[in-house]
């Protein structure tokens, strides 16, 4: 049984290898590379974006927005209240926001530029 499975997998690999040059146009192997580049980028970008968004981006933005809505963004009392409320809320909200941002970045850049450096680095400013 094992020998039959080995022979069938070798035959499949040889068949794909023989047909590979005919798939070299934009719709063949390019799509496969883009697909795997996109999947790989999503696997790396989602956790990275979750960490960045839950620990930095969203709490900071929430804190600043709350301080502004409380009246004076430079006032001491407004900033203390905004920090007490905004940081925990921002940390919790940063997890799903980071997951969505990382998935979007990974799928987009991983498809356009598979396995490039840009597809694995979730930028701080360009994709919000």
User: Domain of 106?
Assistant: 35-120
Q: Give a yes or no: residue 125 inside a domain.
A: no
Q: Give a yes or no: residue 54 inside a domain.
A: yes
Q: Give a yes or no: residue 17 inside a domain.
A: no
Average pLDDT over residues 57-76: 92
CB 20 within 8 A of CB 74: no
Give how far Cα 60 sits from Cα of 53, 63, 74, 84, Å.
9, 5, 14, 12
Q: Return contacts of 85-88, CB within 8 angstroms, 24+ apart.
A: 86/59, 86/62, 87/59, 87/62, 87/63
Instruction: Mark 13-29 as b/e (b = at least 16 C-beta within 10 Å).
Output: eeeeeeeeeeeeeeeee
Q: Give a yes or no: residue 107 inside a domain.
A: yes
Q: Give a yes or no: residue 63 inside a domain.
A: yes
**Residue 110 pLDDT > 70, yes or no?**
yes
pLDDT-based confidence at 118, cuts 50/70/90?
Answer: confident
pTM of full prediction above 0.85: no
Q: Give a yes or no: residue 65 inside a domain.
A: yes
Q: Give a yes or no: residue 28 inside a domain.
A: no
């Amino acid at each position: 049984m094992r020998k039959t499975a080995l022979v069938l997998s070798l035959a499949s690999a040889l068949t794909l290898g023989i047909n590979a040059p005919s798939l070299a146009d934009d719709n063949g192997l390019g799509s496969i590379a883009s697909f795997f580049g996109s999947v790989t980028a999503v696997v790396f970008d989602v956790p990275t974006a979750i960490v960045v968004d839950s620990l930095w981006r969203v709490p900071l933005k929430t804190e600043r927005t709350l301080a502004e809505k409380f009246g004076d963004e430079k006032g001491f009392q407004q900033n203390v209240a905004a920090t007490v409320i905004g940081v925990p809320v921002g940390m919790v909200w940063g997890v799903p926001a980071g997951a969505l941002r990382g998935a979007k970045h990974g799928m987009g850049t991983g498809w356009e530029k598979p396995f490039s450096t840009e597809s694995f680095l979730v930028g701080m400013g360009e994709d919000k």
